[in-house]
Amino acid sequence: MGEWTGLEHEKSEPVLDIRIDEAGYSPGDACVRDISIKVGRGELVGLIGPNGAGKSTTIKAILKLIPHVKGEIKLGGSGTYAYVPEQPLYYDTLTLWEHLALAGAAYKMEEQAFERSANELLERFRMTDARDKLPGGMSKGMKQKMMLMLGFLLKPDVYIVDEPFIGLDPRATKDFLRLLEAERLRGAGVLMCTHVLDTAEKICDYFVLLSDGKTAAQGSLDDIRGACGLVQGDLFDCFEALTE
């Protein structure tokens, strides 16, 4: 969709507005602090940083999966969101279709809407033949596809996606990116945590770079370049300069 400018980002209608004053796993031991992230309608925000920078803790704080969070998380639009975890989570005794049906029931989807969305996703990710398979018989890439399908089933206002490219082959990656683009055109916002910087540079409108539990820089690619003094630098060069 093209890189947004910082001004466009600020003026965009937020579907996710995050302010984390501090967050951690025990009282008085903050792992991340002073992090503000806004995701506009149709915007893809990349959350990047080295290992241990606080990306996973930030995601867990947003989802209220850790006990000590000070701040405020606001969902815009209808307030619906989908989370796609880094590590596939599933029930060993349920088939792919049964996982989708369980998610559809949890979302209170109408039967026809569920059937249409589920079958479209099976075809898009080339998983029709795996419809009745158990996860234990699937490859790592197929399990990751299942996680993506569960996330895209409802068509929410916000997607929170943690390292989506792990285990995906090039074709599946392209299928995922095409679907993501369609959802953004529909108006959904995306917060994506990823280590795949070359892809992030191509698809993200805005970046939040974390280092040592704090924001090292944020903005468009040009903003990030300016922050590290690399006018022609790619995202990897900027990443290296700001986190070394």
CATH number at residue 204: 3.40.50.300
Q: pLDDT grade, residue 210 (50/70/90)?
A: very high
Q: What is the pLDDT of residue 91?
A: 97
Mean pLDDT of 127-141: 96
Asked if the structure places residue 194 within a domain, the reply is yes
| pLDDT above 90 for 1 | no
pTM: 0.93
Give the neighbor-by-neighbor strand order of the sheet with 44-48: 81-84, 158-162, 189-193, 44-48, 206-211, 214-219
* pLDDT 10s digits, 23-71: 999 988 999 999 999 999 999 999 999 888 999 999 999 999 999 999 9
Asked, for residue 47, whether it belongs to a domain, the answer is: yes
Per the structure, the count of domains in the chain is: 1
| Position 134 confidence tier, pLDDT thresholds 50, 70, 90 | very high
Residues whose CB is less than 8 angstroms from the CB of residue 105 and which lie 6 or more positions away in sequence, other chains included: none
Q: Is residue 3 part of a domain?
A: yes
Q: Is residue 122 assigned to a domain?
A: no
Q: Looking at residues 116-138, what average pLDDT do you find?
A: 97
In a domain, 110, yes or no: no
Interacting residues of 199 by C-beta distance below 8 A, sequence separation 6+ = 165, 173
Query: Quick check: is 146 in a domain?
Result: no
In this structure, of 48-52, 69-73, 97-101, 104-108, the range with the lowest mean pLDDT score is 48-52
Which range of residues forms the domain containing residue 58? 1-80+156-167+188-244
Lowest mean pLDDT among 5-9, 62-66, 111-115, 180-184: 5-9
Residue 97 sits at the vertex; the CA angle it makes with 91 and 98, to the nearest 5 degrees, is 45
